[in-house]
């Protein structure tokens, strides 16, 4: 490089000099990325890494659940971890690759949207153990964790049906994807399991990942459903849900949270939260890698595995009567025992059930 620069300086060609300087600068900047060693961990060291998705680490919902799980693991195991927050779609692959390059031995990818990127990067780094939540990838070094969200949604749907006084309940989804449709479908099944005559309103916030972080629109969608007579609204929309819960609190209606226990966000108007134990999944993925029990393949978590459920705490204990609790627990047992089947929208992309 020094040679190239020297030659250019001797010559009169201005463009050449500039080119060489630019080249030198590029090489300098790219240096650390190519240099193995320094940032890389020693073989055998356990370095977990997590890549959060759009919506951000503190969306109080899906990503925050994963964050909590990872934090708990790091504290218990006494290790530090690498992290990356995706803020636009192009960064997913970069983020994953950077984690792998900087020596992570186990990488956790949050969210269905990272599936394509994980598929590419996992093939490039066959020795790194990847875990993805909410998507299925068939590679020898990838563990896929999926949830039967429809089962948890079914239970909160029942609660909504028992709490409504107007006979109309609502659903606000985030991005319009099969996963969110599965939430909606399970919810509707739960509502109609209690009373087939109830009406379920359904809105999706948008069709791009920006729909996970648009509380203004979420609030407006919720208000439109309240105007149409709904008095309980279930939001499965990441950060957008915050607007939904606010709108419910402002108008004195009930809302249902999602993924993490969100009852504390608007105490008194949060009927419950449909819990998806992504924190447990995140924690267990790293714990398994650490103690050597990690295996590639599919992990399907539902009510039976306590992967999904509904939240009851001091914030909503007044809103859920004993009668409601008993009914939901009975339905839970029936689903676990296989006496009640909850249809999964994703199996054939439709939501046909006996209403």
Binding site for other proteins (CB under 8 A): 56-59, 176, 201-204, 206-207, 210, 213-217, 219-221, 223-224, 227-228, 239, 242-243, 246, 249-250, 252, 254, 265-269, 318-319, 321
Q: Helices (H), strands (E): how many in the chain?
A: 12, 12
CB nearer to other proteins: pick between 50 and 319: 319
CB nearer to other proteins: pick between 201 and 287: 201
**Least distance from other proteins to the Cβ atom of residue 176, Å:** 6
Structure tokens at 355: 């209403």
Strand order across the 106-110 sheet? 82-85, 48-52, 106-110, 129-133, 142-147, 297-301
Structure tokens at 123: 């093939």
**Least distance from other proteins to the Cβ atom of residue 156, Å:** 17
Q: Who contacts 318 (Cβ-Cβ below 8 Å, separation ≥6)?
A: 268
As a whole number of Å, the CA-based R_g of the chain is 24
**Least distance from other proteins to the Cβ atom of residue 43, Å:** 34
Instruction: Report d(CA 261, CA 256) in Å as an integer.
Output: 10
Strand order across the 308-310 sheet? 199-206, 168-175, 232-236, 254-259, 270-276, 308-310
**Least distance from other proteins to the Cβ atom of residue 321, Å:** 7
Structure tokens at 214: 């648009």
CB nearer to other proteins: pick between 146 and 319: 319
**Least distance from other proteins to the Cβ atom of residue 214, Å:** 6
CB nearer to other proteins: pick between 60 and 148: 60
CB nearer to other proteins: pick between 144 and 269: 269
């Amino acid at each position: 490089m020094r040679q190239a620069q020297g030659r250019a300086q001797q010559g009169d060609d201005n463009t050449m000099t500039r080119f060489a300087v630019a080249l030198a600068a590029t090489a300098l900047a790219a240096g650390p990325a190519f240099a193995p060693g320094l940032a890389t961990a020693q073989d055998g060291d356990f370095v977990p890494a997590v890549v959060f998705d759009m919506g951000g680490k503190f969306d109080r919902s899906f990503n925050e659940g994963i964050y909590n799980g990872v934090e708990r693991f790091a504290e218990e195991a006494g290790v530090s971890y690498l992290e990356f927050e995706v803020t636009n779609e192009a960064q997913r692959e970069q983020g994953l690759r950077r984690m792998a390059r900087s020596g992570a031995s186990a990488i956790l990818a949050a969210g269905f949207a990272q599936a394509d990127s994980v598929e590419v990067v996992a093939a490039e780094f066959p020795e790194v153990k990847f875990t993805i939540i909410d998507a299925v990838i068939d590679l020898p070094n990838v563990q896929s964790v999926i949830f039967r969200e429809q089962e948890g949604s079914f239970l909160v749907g029942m609660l909504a049906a028992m709490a409504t006084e107007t006979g109309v309940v609502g659903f606000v989804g985030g991005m319009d994807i099969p996963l969110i449709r599965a939430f909606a479908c399970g919810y509707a099944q739960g509502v109609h399991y209690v009373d087939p005559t109830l009406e379920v309103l359904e809105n999706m916030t948008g069709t791009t990942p920006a729909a996970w972080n648009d509380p203004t629109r979420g609030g407006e969608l919720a208000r439109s459903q309240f105007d149409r007579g709904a008095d309980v609204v279930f939001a499965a929309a990441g950060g957008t849900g915050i607007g939904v819960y606010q709108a419910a609190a402002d108008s004195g209606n009930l809302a249902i949270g999602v993924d993490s226990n969100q009852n504390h966000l608007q105490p008194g108007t949060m009927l419950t939260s449909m819990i998806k134990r992504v924190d447990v999944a995140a924690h267990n993925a790293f714990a398994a890698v650490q103690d050597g029990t990690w295996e590639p393949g599919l992990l399907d978590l539902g009510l039976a595995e306590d992967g999904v459920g509904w939240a009851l705490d001091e914030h909503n204990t007044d809103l859920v009567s004993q009668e409601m609790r008993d009914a939901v627990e009975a339905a839970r047992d029936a689903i676990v025992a296989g006496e009640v089947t909850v249809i999964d929208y994703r199996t054939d992309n439709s939501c046909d059930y006996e209403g």
